[in-house]
Chains A and B, each alone.
Chain A
């Protein structure tokens, strides 16, 4: 990738975060949480987007965000009431902004009717409180208050010390930058300069006095001298109406340390003040409460991940250590026991803390759904609104990223199939506007996310017919009602007769289920015909650490995710039998489960294993609730492992979900039970064809 493009990508990634943040904050405002911090956050997000857009020359984006920013500014100042309609406009504003960001990102045409429409609504709102939209769109990283033009006069006294030159700073550049802020008069004071023969180049003597007429505040002037703070005498004073000087230098101690008191008597420069400087208002303090001290830092996710990995390893090492300390040692050295327990406890706290660093509130992803519901409802001629609860619940970033697609899917389904038209709802005595409730909660070590609607519910008769038509269900089968509901998760099942743009994208709930199960989660449905549907997702808090069963086959260690293990048993005496097709099955109570010999499947030719008749069988449940039994040589125990990618440095390997590093530093492979099933199926097909 072009190196410059990388910056753009960073910018767009930031835009997404900012838009999510703004959307979330607006949703809170919309729900009546009138915390000014919400409005400030939205303002800052829009402002940052504008800044970057200016740098990259995305003019549409700059123009729109500028208007939007003006509106938000008026709201922040209380000049425009943050009423329901204004907030609704802001929400649409964020939608447009996110379209414009996409347009800039993918080089698409940025103009659209909604863009124009929202733009003019914003303008009207601004005009309504007699704040003309500034036609001069400022581009770049201007400070938030730079658009306010109030003229001030500053008297600046600047005398470099030797240290300034020693650190290779250049007074000329500083003076030039100062002059760029406005109208300036610079006077060099050369009186103390001795005759040439006494002149020591390393001993600076020249001082400068500058009179500056500018809209800038003292902060901006001080910022110019940021690098030379302490290496010069610096005095910045505002010249007031009456010509009196007001020192700005000591306000926050920026340069007080180096200010030579003898210079406070700089001759008043206000004698020729011809205009009345605008009195300093409280604006800087009140309207833009600076995040006085930033309490967060931005850390590369990779760095956090490295720590997460390492902590995962420590958790495991600690577990191994605890195992190694046998009973005898416990009795002979209780102190060691105490330490091991303490270590376990501390490791747990460490793990929780680091996990919380990766955690994000689900609000980010929930807020995106608000737009989906708005647009989809309009498109389908239905009325629906979003209600959120528990949106502050935090989940691992990786899980959050995987959450969006399933949610979109469920909401689409709900709007497309569940929620009735306003007319129908009215006829049914329901309110015209349907409600989609998104909720999140942490229950134990898991996150429970629910999508509930008050629509018509799942039509069980239709599902049954469809399942029979699709061959998923025998025509005479007598399924329990709730089991019929579960059929929507069956592979190849789509409820819509017509493939609509909304739901029928060739993937159904089975894909949703698979994706959630890949995350180590589960999904379920509760259907109340006529009342609505509740979809429940149960997700792990983190993906970093996996509970596994460690097994050995053909001399190689493998791990099986514990979440998919149902039970394990000795192979000897187990009820296995061979099918004519060549595959073996295990009889578990009433059912037959396919049996995989890991050593045989994974190139037994390379690691000969004889025909070890004994060993163990691990009974697993795969995606979609199917079962498989794996034959291994040995079961070594259970433990927690950190998942590592094999794909990153190599390629996807069939039947393997990834790798992990064991206590002795060696690599063990994580079995992908569903992948094994596919592999076996294909092989038996090949065998049959041969």
Chain B
């Protein structure tokens, strides 16, 4: 298990001065990233308790040190079917506003430093399931990393 802590050592006045750090991770062959400041914890998959009346991509809830946190299957969120989660899969716990939400992914791959100018808009070719879920695209070497718009992760999670 790898734990990370956000860092707030920059001055308020100078915040956002160019560089951003991303946690990069994979789902299948795709690389994705989220801003490191949103990441609260990365933990190994160890099962969830299923939640009724929710979309299939809501895998259930886990106990995060006494708090109940929902877990979103990112593969399913992108319409790719349920992840057959095993010991190597990880849950990235994100702070989204006041909520903490877990995101099930295949593996964490890297920590990237990117310039704000290196983040490109998402081309208008993504299909329906990805619509609105991506905040931008970063090229890192040969690889293309899609930035997740974390605020959108929970939309449509509850089925009435």
Contacts and interface: CB of A to CB of B under 8 A. Distances in A.
**A–B direct contact (CB < 8 Å):** yes
Interface of A: 309-310, 313, 556-557, 601-603, 606-607, 644-646, 648-656, 659, 661, 665-669, 679
Contacts of A649: 67-70, 99-101
Interface size class of B (residues with CB under 8 A): 20 to 34
Contacts of A601: 52
B63 A650 contact: no
A665 B43 CA distance: 14
Nearest to B99: A649
Interface in B75-120: 99-101
B89 to A, nearest CB: 17
B54 interface: yes
B51 A666 contact: no
A644 B63 CA distance: 10
Contacts of B50: 556, 602-603, 606-607
B49 interface: yes
B125 interface: no
Q: Which of A648, A652, A668 has the most CB of B within 10 A?
A: A648
A667 B61 CA distance: 7
A646 B68 contact: yes
A665 B65 CA distance: 9
B18 interface: no
6 contacts: A645-B68, A646-B68, A649-B100, A650-B70, A654-B52, A667-B63
A309 B65 CA distance: 11
The prevalent SS among residues of B at the interface is strand
Given A601-B52, A650-B61, A309 B66 contact: yes
Nearest to A607: B50
Nearest to B71: A650
- Nearest 6 A/B pairs, CB to CB: A602-B52, A667-B49, A650-B70, A659-B68, A649-B99, A661-B63
A641 B49 CA distance: 16
Interface in B120-152: none
Contacts of B51: 646, 650, 653, 656, 669
Contacts of A654: 52-53, 160
A556 B47 CA distance: 12
B58 to A, nearest CB: 8
B20 to A, nearest CB: 24
A646 to B, nearest CB: 5
B154 interface: yes
B63 A665 contact: yes
Contacts of B62: 667
B49 A644 contact: no
Nearest to A675: B53
A481 B100 CA distance: 53
B157 A650 contact: yes
Contact of A661 (B54, B66, B99, B160): B66
B158 A653 contact: yes
